[in-house]
């Protein structure tokens, strides 16, 4: 499992780095290097910790993004999300090449902090929920149940809340205002995905309706 984690981490961020640097037309992009090194280090460190604490969840997290038991609507939406991420990275590379944005250093520092907060929220979510698979499906073989504690006491989809901060922090760290504006598109996709996921959870998990009635907010406490 650790070997799979290492291989997938370097392949994934290798592809991301290629999209950034090829579209930027240069390897001399300090923000992109800082971002990639930070993400590889965190992915390996937190991934190893998760594998030791919850190997069942880590196995789910390392599974392909398109799976047999996955809801059809989620297959379509996740495919769109992945393609949008690749286009987004290329856009931010072009932004750097042509100097469309003029983000000062302090904005990049704020971006790094927002990015770390987003990753921290996602990690807390996985620590609390052993069933936080990357795809929408009911894990009957693992005895999936409704999780109501930790970050789930504030919003019903804390992983998506962390993901929005991850996207925003990435754009700011890379100094791209166009990348930051594009986060609205990812927010819309994740909002749509909450409806797909909740339909599966309400149908497949006893007690989810009661939990949803108690925790009213999906992504942002006191807002939505």
Instruction: State which residues of the chain have pLDDT below 70.
Output: none
Name, in order, each residue with C-beta under 8 angstroms of 130's C-beta and a sequence gap of 6 or more: 54, 56, 57, 142
Let me know if residue 219 belongs to a domain: no
Number of domains in the chain: 1
Q: How many CA atoms lie within 13 A of 197 on its CB side?
A: 23
Q: Is residue 220 part of a domain?
A: no
- Inside any domain, residue 167: yes
Domain, as residue range, for 31: 2-214
Q: Which two tokens stand for residue 49?
A: 């910790």
The reported pLDDT for the residue numbered 157 is 97
> What pLDDT is attached to residue 139?
86
In 10 A of CB 221, how many CB atoms?
15
Neighbouring C-beta atoms of residue 188, cutoff 10 Å: 10
CA dist list (Å): 88 to 47, 82, 170:
25, 10, 11
| pLDDT tens for each residue of 48-73 | 999 999 999 998 888 888 888 888 89
166 within a domain of the structure (yes/no): yes
The C-alpha atoms of residue 58 and residue 5 are separated, in whole angstroms, by: 9
> Per the domain annotation, does 37 fall within a domain?
yes
Contact 29, 108 (CB under 8 A): no
Task: Please give the pLDDT value at position 216.
Answer: 93
Q: Within a domain: residue 186?
A: yes
CATH number for position 204: 1.20.120.1630
- Tell me how far apart the terminal alpha carbons of the chain are, to the nearest angstrom: 37
Side-chain-side CA neighbours of residue 42 (13 Å)? 17
Quote the percentage of the chain above a pLDDT of 90: 81
> Is 24 inside any structural domain?
yes
Residue 224 lies in a domain: no
């Amino acid at each position: 499992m650790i070997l799979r984690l290492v291989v997938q981490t370097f392949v994934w961020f290798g592809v991301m780095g290629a999209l950034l640097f090829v579209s930027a037309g240069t390897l001399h992009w300090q923000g992109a290097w800082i971002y990639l090194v930070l993400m590889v280090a965190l992915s390996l460190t937190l991934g190893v910790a998760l594998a030791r604490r919850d190997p069942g969840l880590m196995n789910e997290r390392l599974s392909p993004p398109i799976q047999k038991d996955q809801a059809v609507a989620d297959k379509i939406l996740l495919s769109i999300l992945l393609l949008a991420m690749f286009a987004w990275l290329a856009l931010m590379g072009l932004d750097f090449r042509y100097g469309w944005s003029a983000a000062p250093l302090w904005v990049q520092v704020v971006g790094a902090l927002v990015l770390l907060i987003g990753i921290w929220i996602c990690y807390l979510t996985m620590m609390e929920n052993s069933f936080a698979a990357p795809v929408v499906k009911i894990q009957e073989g693992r005895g999936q149940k409704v999780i109501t504690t930790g970050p789930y006491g504030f919003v019903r989809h804390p992983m998506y809340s962390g993901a929005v901060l991850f996207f925003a922090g990435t754009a700011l760290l890379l100094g791209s205002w166009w990348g930051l504006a594009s986060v609205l598109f990812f927010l819309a996709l994740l909002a749509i995905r909450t409806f797909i996921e909740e339909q599966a959870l309400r149908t497949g998990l006893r007690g989810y309706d009661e939990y949803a009635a108690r925790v009213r907010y999906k992504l942002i406490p006191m807002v939505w």
